[in-house]
Amino acid sequence: MPKYKIAVIPGDGIGKEVVPAALDVLHTIGEVHGNLSFEFTEFPWNCDYYITHGKMLPDDGIETLKGFDGIFLGAIGNPKLVPDHISLWGLLLKIRRSFEQSINLRPAKYFKGLRSPLSNPNDFNLVVVRENSEGEYSEIGGRIHKNEDEIAVQNAVFTRKKSEQAIRYAFELAKNRHGHVTSATKSNGIFHSMPFWDSIFNDIKENYPDIKTSSTHIDALSAFLVTQPEKSDVIVASNLFGDILTDIGGAIMGSIGIAPAANINLTGEYPSMFEPVHGSAPDIYGKGIANPIGQIWTAKMMLDHFGQRELGQQLLDVIEDVTGDNIKTSDIGGKATTKEVTSEICKRLKAL
Ligand code: NAI
Ligand code: MG
């Protein structure tokens, strides 16, 4: 019977409300399923920890996390106590870099009971696979000269290895979805890196004869996510393109409170990290009204990552039943509390 060892970092603000909610749901899944279980180990690493210890996590923190199957994180940030760049770099980015989590995965779909800003969302259901370690976000470059002669050079870095990994991951993902991969490109405008990306995409697609593909320029693709989001299944994109597309994906769903994300270590050498898109929401912390769905859907992504896709799908269906029946927190137009939404999800899981 599989037992998953999970490191839990609730973090700051509403992380401390939505993480316990998602753990309740995972416990319930373990109970109902009977043939799998979770062992959660909680770590108190957050801005309060920083105030006491002068660091976001202990010196052996990264070493400690190595032993887990996954890291389940709420949100980090309490700008009243600690400047954001210290808390984010000190914990989140440290984990992402140390554990070579070079893919960022963000699904977006039309959600029952939510109002998408699109007049015709057409039941869209897509996922963006974003290369998350290089590309346009590189530190290579510099500035020279002063005043009107000043020049800035910013280099994008595309390695065959990281591009191949991202693209291959997208194809593998498409096998269990609707069998279509779109490559976000811009080879008509970006002279070196995008033709390189295209050629790698074309090589890899030869190995997946059953997967349909398209290559679409990023500007047109961004527009398509608004005008016909239902045409996309899996989209693979470089760091910058993926960043932009995932924000559009979140926006067309209708609330940041439901959007999940995963940072994937592709080699399996280190744990992957699962965290919702939203932050610690200090403006609503303590009121018991935080939407737990972003965190719970993130738990679904962790189940998928462990190969428990059927359970993951079941969970997502139950979440949508609940929002569809109008049991929702106020950010998405309802009156329910964090606890009420969570216990309704658990109740329906038990009734399956
Ligand atoms: P935020 O995502 O925390 O909040 C933005 C707005 O969305 C707020 O009005 C908030 O109330 C609402 N919101 C967010 N999640 C919600 C939920 N689950 N239910 C209901 N409403 C929700 O972003 P903000 O305010 O810019 O940042 C607050 C803190 O969080 C900062 O310290 C920031 O650095 C940090 N942050 C951390 C992230 C992470 O840990 N990955 C990501 C984004 C921000
Ligand atoms: Mg962004």
Mutate to test the pocket of ligand 1, among 50, 93, 247, 278 (most ligand atoms within 8 A of CB): 278
Instruction: Tell me the per-residue pLDDT of 72-128, one tens digit each, with 9 for 90 and over.
Output: 999 999 999 999 999 998 999 899 989 999 999 999 999 999 999 999 999 999 999
Ligand 2 is a single-atom ion; what residues have CB below 5 A from it? 243, 247
**For residue 136, what pLDDT is reported?**
95
Sheet holding 3-11, edge to edge: 37-42, 3-11, 70-75, 272-276, 260-264, 103-109, 125-131, 234-237, 180-185, 212-217
Within a domain: 78: yes
Domain of 276, CATH number, reads: 3.40.718.10
Q: How confident is the model at residue 54 (pLDDT cuts 50, 70, 90)?
A: very high
Which of 225, 253, 281 is the last residue before a domain boundary?
253
CA distance 217 to 197: 12
**For residue 4, what pLDDT is reported?**
96
- Going by alpha carbons, the residue nearest to atom 11 of ligand 1 is 281
Mutate to test the pocket of ligand 1, among 17, 88, 95, 280 (most ligand atoms within 8 A of CB): 280
Mean pLDDT on 52-64: 97
Mean pLDDT on 299-305: 97
Say whether both 245 and 305 belong to one domain: no
Q: What is the Å distance from ligand 1's center to 351 Cα? A: 33
Within a domain: 152: yes
- Going by alpha carbons, the residue nearest to atom 8 of ligand 1 is 281
Say whether both 151 and 198 belong to one domain: yes
Q: 94: buried, middle or exposed (CB in 10 Å: 19+, 13-18, 0-12)?
A: middle
> pTM of the prediction?
0.94
Which of 221, 253, 285 is the last residue before a domain boundary?
253
Mean pLDDT on 304-331: 96
Mean pLDDT on 192-214: 98
Extended strands (E) in the chain: 3-11, 37-42, 70-75, 103-109, 125-131, 141-144, 151-154, 180-185, 212-217, 234-237, 260-264, 272-276
**For residue 178, what pLDDT is reported?**
97
Which atom of ligand 1 is nearest the CA belonging to 278?
2
Say whether both 182 and 216 belong to one domain: yes
Q: What is the Å distance from ligand 1's center to 80 Cα? A: 14
In terms of residues, how long is the chain? 352
What tokens were used for 299? Answer: 């738990």
The number of distinct structural domains making up the chain is 2
Q: What is the Å distance from ligand 1's center to 42 Cα? A: 21
**For residue 1, what pLDDT is reported?**
84
Within a domain: 221: yes
Say whether both 249 and 271 belong to one domain: no
Q: Which domain range does residue 229 map to?
A: 116-253
Which atom of ligand 1 is nearest the CA belonging to 78?
32
Say whether both 139 and 215 belong to one domain: yes
**For residue 34, what pLDDT is reported?**
83
Which atom of ligand 1 is nearest the CA belonging to 275?
41
Within a domain: 265: yes
Q: Is the pLDDT of residue 33 over 90?
A: no
Q: Is the pLDDT of residue 350 over 90?
A: yes
Say whether both 249 and 268 belong to one domain: no
Within a domain: 235: yes
Mutate to test the pocket of ligand 1, among 16, 88, 89, 256 (most ligand atoms within 8 A of CB): 256
Which of 226, 253, 280 is the last residue before a domain boundary?
253
- What residues flank ligand 1, with Cβ below 6 Å? 14, 18, 75-77, 79, 84, 88, 92, 256-257, 275, 278-284, 290-291, 294, 329, 331
**For residue 90, what pLDDT is reported?**
94
